[in-house]
Amino acid sequence: MASKKKFDIAVIGAGPGGYVAAIKAAQMGKSVALIEKQYLGGTCLNVGCIPSKALLSNAAIYHKIKHAKDFGINVDNVGFDYSKMKNRKDDVVSKIRGSLGGLLKSNGITIFQGTAQFESPKELKIKGEDAAHIHSEKIIIATGSEPIDIPAFPCDHDRILNSSSALELTELPKTMAIIGGGYIGCEFASLFAEFGVKVTIIEALPSIIDAQGKTLSSALTSAFTKRGIEIKTNTAVEKIDKKGEGLLIHFKDGGTLSVEKAIVSVGRRLNSESLALEKAGLKPGAKGAIEVNEKMETHVPGIYAIGDITAIAMLAHVASHQGIVAAANACGQDAHLHYNAIPAVIFTHPEIAMVGLTAEQAEEKGLNFNVGTFPFQALGKSIATNESDGFAQVISDKKTGEIYGAQVVGHEASAMIAEMALAINNELTLDCVIDTIHAHPTIPEAWLEASLLANETPIHFPPKIKPRG
């Protein structure tokens, strides 16, 4: 019979939300159980953020080498071994996973390998390698999500891949379709196109990364088109036939596309079905989401939910912050989380990052706002490094100058967005950015210049209104 153990706090799921919550609770003196059905780090570390960025870093280096002549460097017979790139990706994941295990151990957290089910609001049954019954005063649900499988063309993980199995390729096809033009699909398109794969993105909506607004969608569409990536929008897939060694994709409008492999990237499914939530008095909402308040509390006292399972913002860094808030409240503190300044990054080439409102969203809200857009073609560091494609854009209140939102397309966008997240989270104004000395020459100077433009006082860009004299 499985043993019964007692803890102050139990966390179900060891992804970026769950393990952070566990560490936070342990640091506050609580006994913590962390239950994970597969690998520490969850989707993000094992089949998401980290492995995909490891591969994309290979692509970035390959891109630089191919353009070495632009810097006066001669490199002949440039080639690559994708299987070695995949091995490097695996090594990166393994190294971080091992470090995470050590970190959890150093915090005195008890790790259970297995799946958890509720038996009551304070009781969990663990099935698997570390089978046990757990009593915990507080429970944090952090079970995440997994790729959606479409019944009409289910993934076989050989020719029809999902975002997880696509990371396991050791050889690249000559042609590939990516079904779904959201940020995950676009990152894969950018990765494989860099290595010579003929990529076609198939998107049912009017544009790729449609949720990010027209400005960013248009910028990425233009960049992808220049790179030879074909984009089919307003196009839905009806079925996929396996033909010989490849695939024949049938569109609902009657057209077809022949490719060697396809990646299905049409969203993610929430992992709430196996938890026996009803035994805890929980009833999941639409698509299995668990509703929470700003303290990450469910309607059942003592039970919290964080990360993808809440369907609030399916991003690893949001899950981590939700984990900190949930753990703090579970330990008796009063913590809240607000979502007005969530940065998001799309690791394509060029990189795209955003935080706060887009111009379209500001307009929909009826706000009176200014837009300042500074092109990287006018930025010294971008020209010096041959990375002059892109721009930084700031949305601000026309009267007060408060920054409502920011978008950036181009080199180092992923690093740049933090400054604007800090600004929006602290309700800073254009003057706060303008009065801050930015190091020269750097890419973040673009925020200074964009803020000056939004303030209608540009220095390194022609003014809208010609000065007198």
Mean pLDDT over 169-197 rounds to: 98
Give the model confidence (pLDDT) of 231-253 as tens digits.
999 999 999 999 999 999 999 99
Q: Give the phi and the psi of residue 358 in degrees, each rounded to 5.
A: -85, 170
List domains and CATH numbers for the chain.
4-146+269-330 (3.50.50.60), 160-266 (3.50.50.60), 344-454 (3.30.390.30)
Residue 1 has pLDDT above 50, yes or no: no
Give the model confidence (pLDDT) of 11-66 as tens digits.
999 999 999 999 999 999 999 999 999 999 999 999 999 999 999 999 999 999 99
Mean pLDDT over 338-359 rounds to: 97
Residue 330 has pLDDT above 80, yes or no: yes
Q: Which two tokens stand for residue 78?
A: 């440039």
Q: What pLDDT is attached to residue 286?
A: 84
Q: Give the model's confidence band at 464: pLDDT under 50 very low, under 70 low, under 90 confident, else very high.
A: confident
Residue 395 has pLDDT above 80, yes or no: yes
Q: Is 397 in contact with 367 (CB distance < 8 Å)?
A: yes
Q: What pLDDT is attached to residue 3?
A: 59
Q: Which amino acid is at 450?
A: A
In degrees, rounded to 5, the angle at the alpha carbon of residue 45 between the alpha carbons of residues 423 and 317 is 20
Cis peptide before 350 (omega within 30 of 0): yes
In degrees, rounded to 5, the angle at the alpha carbon of residue 187 between the alpha carbons of residues 182 and 189 is 95
Q: What gap in Å lies between CA 407 and CA 116, rounded to an integer?
A: 40
Q: Give the model's confidence band at 338: pLDDT under 50 very low, under 70 low, under 90 confident, else very high.
A: very high
The residue from 317, 321, 440, 460 that is catalytic is 440
Residue 334 has pLDDT above 70, yes or no: yes
Q: Would you call 67 a catalytic residue per the annotation?
A: no
Residue 265 has pLDDT above 70, yes or no: yes
